[in-house]
Amino acid sequence: MTGRSTTGEAPRRVLLGISGGIAAYKVCSVISSLAKEGLAVRVVLTQQGQAFIPPLTVATLARHPAYTDEQFWQASQGRPLHIELGEWAELFVIAPLSANTLGKLAHGLADNLLTNTVLASTCPVLLAPAMNTDMWQQPSVQRNWQQVLQDDRYHAIAPGSGVLACDRVGTGRMAEPADILSHIHSLLHTGGKRDLAGQQLLISTGSTREFLDPVRFIGNPASGKMGVALAQAALHRGASVTLVHGPMEEALKARLGGIQTVEVTTAAQMHQAMLAHLAPADWIVMAAAVADVKPTTQAATKLTKADLPEALPLAPVPDIVADLAQRRSPHQKLVGFAAQTGDILPPAMDKLRRKGLDAIVANPVDVAGSGFGGDRNQAILLTKTGDKIVIPPCTKLDMAHQIFEALGKPATQNP
């Protein structure tokens, strides 16, 4: 996702509000990343927020002067500042969201520039709370949180657990910048719609490993990034998501807030996990790159070079997607992936028909800027009804949204 609109006419517009809390330092990287991507960023600081981050810092990162209560209460020319900012914003992000600002939002109170601008805007609002564990767990704070979320305008990144600035270990830690950025891009893409609300998605991602001995295995370079993007996009569109994933980097796992995860290693383990979570799923998306074969034997200790066989006997692993196709209920939508080289369409079409899928995403892994390991991808989406949708090079998150949008539309019945 780039900072420019789909028409290329103007940058996307994000208004970011910073209330009081030490987590404000994390928002600096969010502001910087958005500005570097070409988005137009404006920042509003509360008086308490300025105690942690000075206006000059965010102004420098945003490439635009910061707004504070000082400007709000000053007499000025033209229209009121909070009206101008509220109408300007495509998306309003409040991070960190303090208990004080949360209480004001819950009850429609407005006594500073930030809260007045919220009431003067109509765009989606993304909230990222941060506070001490005891503060977060107060019944009054939880009531305010639930009350705010009853308004469809508000989208939430609930706080995570960890070591807080007060040395307490518990819930209250603000979401990481990468997670906030993903949610921002999703909301800019969807405009805040929750077209997957009430849906349960079961997604697999990453690679599987089939071990010859404790240090050697048959595997592939799949990072899990595409499946994580699918899980994030689905979550941001209102779905409940279960992600079954192979080994992944810790930084990627950190992006999975709000998503139920099941970590596996082998194809057999992934097979079992997918079957265990199959029944309640409305969508099953098999984005994992599963090993096709495994060694027939696995040594308990590391084999010496002299002990390695000249020819490695192999056995097939479970065909997970074919088994899911056999076991699923009629209402369940099953989507596969096909990582291919060369002409990607014939093998993908064969897999679509042979395995009884509703759709398959064929993506080239031999083209620069797509496939394994990167943050970008491209694909051709094929459906069992004959639809062929080209997804040009884009971020994996953007591709995930395009997949859900294409598959959520009525099918085209081709002869």
- Going by C-alpha positions, the residue among 413, 369, 364 that lies closest to residue 395 is 369
Strands 125-129 and 154-156: parallel
Distance, in Å, from the CA atom of 25 to the CA atom of 347, rounded to the nearest integer, reads: 49
Note the residue count of the chain. 415
Residues 6+ apart with CB under 8 A from 368: none
> Is residue 193 within 8 Å of residue 237, measured between CB atoms?
yes
**Residues 18, 54 contacting (CB under 8 angstroms):** no
H or E element that contains 40? strand 40-45
| pLDDT score for 413 | 43
pLDDT of residue 5: 46
Q: Which residues contact 389 (CB under 8 A, 6 or more apart)?
A: 380, 381, 382, 402, 406
pTM: 0.91
Measured N-to-C along each axis, helices 177-190 and 225-236 cross at an angle, to the nearest 10 degrees, of 60
Cis peptide before 96 (omega within 30 of 0): yes
Segment-wise mean pLDDT, segments of 10 residues, the chain, 415 residues: 56 97 94 97 97 96 96 75 95 97 97 97 97 93 97 93 75 89 97 96 97 94 95 97 96 90 97 98 96 93 92 94 95 94 93 95 88 90 95 96 88 44
pLDDT the model gives residue 77: 59
User: Residue 16: which of 52, 58, 76, 73 has the closest Cα?
Assistant: 58
Whole-number pLDDT of residue 177: 93
Chain centroid to CA 270: 21
Query: Could you tell me the domains of the chain?
Result: 13-190 (3.40.50.1950), 200-408 (3.40.50.10300)
Give catalytic residues, as residue numbers.
166
